[in-house]
Amino acid sequence: MSDIEKWLTAVGLAQLAQKFARAQIDLDSLRLLNDRDLRELRIPIGPRRKLVAAIAAMEQPGDAKAQRSPPERRQVTILFCDMVGSTEYAARLDPEDFSDLTQSYLTRCGGLARSHGGFVANYAGDALQVLFGYPIAEENDGERALDLAFELLLAVPRIEVPDQTPLNIRIGIASGLVVMGDVEGAPPGLPTVAFGPVPNLAQRLQVLAPPQTILVDQSTYASARRAYEFQDLGATVVKGFAEPIHIWRASKALPSSDRFSKARITRLIGRRSEIEQVLALWRLITKQGVARWLLICGEPGIGKSRLLFEVAKRIQARKTLIAQCSAAYSNSALFPFLQLLRQESGITNALPPADAARRLETALVTSGVPLSVSFPIFARLLFLEQMDYPPSELTSSEQQSIVSQVFVDWLRHMTLQGPLLLAIEDAQWIDPSSSNLLDGLFKARDFPALVLITSRNDVVRFGDRRPAIDCLKLGRLSREETGALIESATQGIKLASAVTQSLLRKAEGVPLYVEELARSAAELTAFGAPANASDTPIEVPNNLQSALLARLDKLGQGKTIAQVAAVIGREFDMRMLSRVANVPVDALKLQLERLTEVGLISPQPFADWPRYAFTHVLLQEAACGALLREKRRLLHARVAQTIEETEPSTAIEHPEVLAQHLYEAGQFERAADQWLHAGLKLGQTWAKVEAANMFAKGLACLQKLPPSSDRDRRELRLELERGDVLYATYGYVTREGSAAYRNVMRLSEALGDAEAAIRALDGLFGTAFNSARFNDAEWASNQLVDIGRNRQNIRALVLGMQFLGMCAFSRGRFDEARPYLEQALAYQAAAEEIGSDFPSMSMIYLSWTLQLLGEGKEALALFQQAEAQARQQTDYRLAACLGNGCILMALRHDATMLEPMINELIPLARKNGFQLWLNMATFFQGWMLVVTRQDASGLDQMRHICDNMGEQEIDKTCYLGVLAETYLRLGRIAEASDTVQRALALAKKTGERYYFAELLRLRDELKLRDTS
């Protein structure tokens, strides 16, 4: 007997042997046969169905070789599933109908089983036995068996029955040790059987189960209880078992913080080596107790989040934290980390404020920072009302570093119980403050944590640094892998091979596309095409959007719900959805369950209201993108309105979300106002970069509007704020900052708004002067003086004169500088009204001027007066005064007075993050080291600052001169000459001349040394 004859005999179709022999079908080609082929062979429907099922049953992942497996002992989970009342069906239905029904039942169940990675061991009548843990053992066999069981409970009653009575099933599951082997005498590839008490137990449990329920034994319960909820049915005597058996009834899946565990998930395909690579890092961490970082990058839908999920599942960290970045919140300072904190400490808006405050305290005490310091800062970040602590008086950059430190401590504390897995998801959308926080975390490597960053980009930035982090780049799936994924996604529905080919081509190996296109093709195959149309090949949708639409179309109202939800965002809560869609919550529940079931959305943890998220951003975008533009616009308007009317907390905490909806709704003015609001709110914190971005978004809204003075007024306001925030962040020269100010000038002229013009000119002067563009700086100064004279505006006049004095000094025109500065200082009594840097800058520059005019004593006295005033004012004023004082001491060659100033300035500047003044202090500290201690390392320090001043050019000839002189002092003539040349060239370029005489002297002195 040939192999194929044996096989046919075993499946009870020996009569087909001749036919098969004529068509030259062997065991290998058998696997490739489909229904169409069998029809061509003119095999009648009954045997044809049996054949299809038997062929499907032989296609197991592990038995491609179709070799008989030697018996082996294995730990497995076995699921038994049986149809309820099949004898009644058999009696009631026409025999052919009944056979059809049984076949479609077995095909459906078998397909689902395989899609969960189960091994369909044998059919006995209409009972199904599925093994997990064979031929490949996975750690979550119990959970997967339950996943399948619940899916069967849903799927089987949907199978069409001729007389419309839904099919019901019973399920029993048991786990334990078995011996696996093929039945003696059976041909290879035929039913592999598990021997031992476990299969019997599973079957017994199935018999005991009431219709549509799942009963499991103790070991299955133990392995799946983290994912499912069970009801304890106690110990029962079971036929065939000497000891009573402890039985559990599975009632439902537990909520999980992970979208994958509740979404309809396909079997993992490939990625073994990637997973192994991450696991190796994890082992290192547990061994060495230090932090390790890894970037996982790749295009959207490639499987970054899935890899993360698979790793998390395998490592059993005490704690897995996921900080999820989001496109909608990419300018919301610290968004992912604050969400994490909320989630972990259970702080929700629904909580009474006092309770929320207690929870926050519990989280914050894990840090060494005293509560009185950290609490008010965090309470404000989380918008908690609180009376217990006075508001923080720290500067915004001090607050930023406190926040950073607290987060690091909080995470470190979690590692006391074991290593931590921290994921930063979708880092391409991280906000600048969180990115800075990562930098802090990166530096604190002293605790066992694996930090995985997922991103579409293959580089990450922490603030303005690019850390050295290994990158794991995910590539597309191979053809074979794609094939396997298609099979898993179609849940056993067999696709025609032309369809599969087309799918392989269109999905291009991106798992998300594979899944979606395959699901859509499977639905079309199973339900879409008319019964007799299996000859007309179904069309595989061309892209995600059409695939998704094809699937949504089947959901009736569910489609509308999904699209409304997509307009709200990637994440949405039920209450908001109910209001925007105008559908009562009860009716929504059902729809949302359907959408969850088809894998489009998944429930989210920790919220005041049930929350859901689209399982992938691209799915959200596709659902939203399929709406007609006008419809979408109206929906955004409704969302905005709903937020304003019923979600005041969102409007307050995240005005940027409201702004974005208004923008999409085409309400550009209101959107611009919200962006302004959002930016102003952030501008008060350290999050200046985020604030500047928000102002820029507001400006972009205005671009959409026709010109009007109303529009100009809004633009003016946004530009001014943007300029100021940029100036505050970068201190000096940014092209963007000056562009903003120039635009303000244009607008303020058109609107006749003098105050705005003054603010802009102040800013413009600052940026120009700091980059030593004296012509521009003088232009701004003169404009100010003009406004001052023409409009009797003291503020403009005095600032203008102060600025003209500063320019004249820098150009080396001391005689001109002196009267400007003295006239400005005549207005000291109006200092409050004038603001800006007056009068301290006038005093400093006058003291420098006097020094260089040879009036050293007066110069020093004036400086000390300025310093005394600054001590009464803000840290910034004091830092600026001490910093500029350094230059005075350099001009005076007075290292003794310099020392205490530097010792005070360095910590002051560091604490406040005043980079400019920190640079200055560091430079002169280097100088002091050389001059007073003959410590040559000071030179490197000086040089480093000179080489890294960025766009700041002001005072640079002075720094270089001091550096050259120091080289000379140590006899390093060549370096001294180079530096002097550099300084002279710069003086020529910029026109900065106040240190010019000294430079010339140095140059000639060096020349003399050279010749001598």
Query: With CB under 6 A, what is the number of residues at the site for ligand ADP?
Result: 19
Query: With CB under 5 A, what is the number of residues at the site for Mg ion?
Result: 2
State the CB neighbour count (10 A cutoff) for residue 783. 20
Structure tokens at 903: 């010792």
Shortest gap between Cβ of 299 and Mg ion (angstroms)? 11
Taking CB under 6 A as the rule, does residue 187 contact ligand ADP? no
Shortest gap between Cβ of 426 and ligand ADP (angstroms)? 8
Say how far apart CA 977 and CA 1010 lie, in whole Å: 10
Instruction: Pick between residue 175 and residue 266 the one whose CB is nearest to ligand ADP.
Output: 266
Query: Among residue numbers 616 through 675, which ones bind ligand ADP (CB under 6 A)?
Result: 616
Shortest gap between Cβ of 488 and ligand ADP (angstroms)? 7
Q: Which member of 181, 191, 300, 528 binds ligand ADP (CB under 6 A)?
A: 300
Shortest gap between Cβ of 550 and Mg ion (angstroms)? 23
Taking CB under 6 A as the rule, does residue 512 contact ligand ADP? yes
Name which of Mg ion, ligand ADP, none residue 467 binds, using a CB cut-off of 5 to 8 Å depending on partner kind.
none
Name which of ligand ADP, Mg ion, none residue 270 binds, using a CB cut-off of 5 to 8 Å depending on partner kind.
ligand ADP
For every residue of 948-981, DSSP letters joined together read: T-TT--TTHHHHHHHHHHHHHHTT-HHHHHHHHH
Taking CB under 6 A as the rule, does residue 305 contact ligand ADP? yes
φ and ψ at 561, to 5 degrees? Answer: -60, -45
Structure tokens at 553: 């179309």
Instruction: Pick between residue 258 and residue 719 the one whose CB is nearest to Mg ion.
Output: 258
Say how far apart CA 978 and CA 42 lie, in whole Å: 95
Cβ atoms of 555 and 598 within 8 Å: the answer is yes
Instruction: Pick between residue 619 and residue 984 the one whose CB is nearest to Mg ion.
Output: 619
Query: For ligand ADP, which stretch binds (CB under 6 A), given 50-58, 261-269, 837-845, 867-875?
Result: 261-269
Q: How many CA atoms lie within 13 A of 176 on its CB side?
A: 15
Shortest gap between Cβ of 423 and ligand ADP (angstroms)? 11
Q: Which member of 135, 188, 197, 270 binds ligand ADP (CB under 6 A)?
A: 270
Structure tokens at 699: 């400006």
Q: Which member of 117, 199, 303, 885 binds ligand ADP (CB under 6 A)?
A: 303
Instruction: Pick between residue 305 and residue 415 the one whose CB is nearest to Mg ion.
Output: 305
In this structure, which long-range contacts are made by residues 528-534, counting pairs with CB atoms below 8 Å and at least 24 apart in sequence? 534/35, 534/36, 534/496
Taking CB under 5 A as the rule, does residue 455 contact Mg ion? no
Say how far apart CA 716 and CA 722 lie, in whole Å: 10
Say how far apart CA 493 and CA 107 lie, in whole Å: 8
- Cis omega before residue 907 (within 30°)? no
Shortest gap between Cβ of 660 and ligand ADP (angstroms)? 22
Query: For ligand ADP, which stretch binds (CB under 6 A), given 30-38, 299-307, 391-399, 780-788?
Result: 299-307
Name which of Mg ion, ligand ADP, none residue 303 binds, using a CB cut-off of 5 to 8 Å depending on partner kind.
ligand ADP
Q: Which member of 6, 49, 116, 306 binds ligand ADP (CB under 6 A)?
A: 306
CA 310 to chain centre: 18
- For residue 730, the SS3 value is helix
Q: Say if strands 292-297 and 245-253 run parallel, antiparallel, or are unpaired.
A: unpaired
Query: Among residue numbers 558 through 617, which ones bind ligand ADP (CB under 6 A)?
Result: 616
Shortest gap between Cβ of 474 and ligand ADP (angstroms)? 7
Query: Among residue numbers 305 through 334, which ones bind Mg ion (CB under 5 A)?
Result: 305
Which residue's Cβ lies closest to Mg ion? 305
Instruction: Pick between residue 473 and residue 789 the one whose CB is nearest to ligand ADP.
Output: 473
Query: For ligand ADP, which stretch binds (CB under 6 A), given 85-93, 210-218, 295-303, 942-950?
Result: 295-303
Q: How many CA atoms lie within 13 A of 665 on its CB side?
A: 22
Shortest gap between Cβ of 305 and Mg ion (angstroms)? 3
Query: Among residue numbers 467 through 496, which ones bind ligand ADP (CB under 6 A)?
Result: 485
Query: Among residue numbers 250 through 309, which ones bind Mg ion (CB under 5 A)?
Result: 304-305
Say how far apart CA 373 and CA 391 lie, in whole Å: 9
Instruction: Pick between residue 320 and residue 977 the one whose CB is nearest to Mg ion.
Output: 320
Instruction: Pick between residue 90 and residue 469 the one whose CB is nearest to ligand ADP.
Output: 469
Instruction: Pick between residue 367 and residue 454 the one whose CB is nearest to ligand ADP.
Output: 454
Closest CA to 998 of 939, 952, 957: 957
Q: Which member of 170, 304, 877, 993 binds ligand ADP (CB under 6 A)?
A: 304
Q: How many CA atoms lie within 13 A of 307 on its CB side?
A: 31
Say how far apart CA 552 and CA 621 lie, in whole Å: 14
Q: Which residues of 198-231 are buried (b: 16+ CB within 10 A; e: fewer)?
A: bbbbbbbbbebbeebbbbbbebbbebbbebbebe
Query: Among residue numbers 51 through 110, which ones bind ligand ADP (CB under 6 A)?
Result: none
Task: Give the bridge partners for 295, in sequence order.
Answer: 453, 471
Structure tokens at 954: 């002001």
Shortest gap between Cβ of 397 and ligand ADP (angstroms)? 34
User: CB burial class (10 A; 0-12, 13-18, 19+) of residue 138?
Assistant: middle
Which residue's Cβ lies closest to ligand ADP? 303
Name which of Mg ion, ligand ADP, none residue 925 binds, using a CB cut-off of 5 to 8 Å depending on partner kind.
none
Q: How many CA atoms lie within 13 A of 554 on its CB side?
A: 18
Instruction: Pick between residue 266 and residue 405 the one whose CB is nearest to ligand ADP.
Output: 266
Structure tokens at 312: 């998390």
Shortest gap between Cβ of 656 and ligand ADP (angstroms)? 24
Cβ atoms of 382 and 342 within 8 Å: the answer is yes
Closest CA to 107 of 89, 128, 84, 90: 128
Taking CB under 6 A as the rule, does residue 266 contact ligand ADP? yes
Q: Which residue has the tokens 């719900």?
A: 561
Shortest gap between Cβ of 616 and ligand ADP (angstroms)? 5
Instruction: Pick between residue 398 and residue 487 the one whose CB is nearest to ligand ADP.
Output: 487
Instruction: Pick between residue 304 and residue 570 the one whose CB is nearest to Mg ion.
Output: 304
Instruction: Pick between residue 485 and residue 549 the one whose CB is nearest to ligand ADP.
Output: 485
Taking CB under 6 A as the rule, does residue 271 contact ligand ADP? yes
- Give, as one character, the DSSP assignment of residue 438: H
Shortest gap between Cβ of 227 and ligand ADP (angstroms)? 16
DSSP-H helix ranges across 349-426: 353-364, 371-381, 396-414
Cβ atoms of 441 and 407 within 8 Å: the answer is yes
Instruction: Pick between residue 599 and residue 805 the one whose CB is nearest to Mg ion.
Output: 599
Task: State how far the alpha carbon of 288 is from the alpha carbons of 282, 663, 723, 934, 988, in Å.
Answer: 10, 51, 48, 43, 57
Shortest gap between Cβ of 297 and ligand ADP (angstroms)? 9
Taking CB under 6 A as the rule, does residue 268 contact ligand ADP? yes
Shortest gap between Cβ of 305 and ligand ADP (angstroms)? 3
Cβ atoms of 571 and 613 within 8 Å: the answer is yes
Taking CB under 6 A as the rule, does residue 515 contact ligand ADP? yes
Residue type at position 309: F
| Contacts (Cβ under 8 Å, ≥6 apart) of 931 | 895, 966, 969
Query: Among residue numbers 764 through 783, which ones bind Mg ion (CB under 5 A)?
Result: none
Instruction: Pick between residue 111 and residue 298 the one whose CB is nearest to ligand ADP.
Output: 298
Instruction: Pick between residue 66 and residue 422 the one whose CB is nearest to ligand ADP.
Output: 422
Say how far apart CA 449 and CA 349 lie, in whole Å: 30
Q: Which member of 117, 189, 298, 492 binds ligand ADP (CB under 6 A)?
A: 298
State the CB neighbour count (10 A cutoff) for residue 767. 29
Q: Which residues of 712-730 are buried (b: 16+ CB within 10 A; e: fewer)?
A: bbbbbbbbbbbbbbbbebb
Shortest gap between Cβ of 456 and Mg ion (angstroms)? 9
Binding site for Mg ion (CB under 5 A): 304-305
Binding site for ligand ADP (CB under 6 A): 265-266, 268-271, 298, 300-306, 485, 511-512, 515, 616
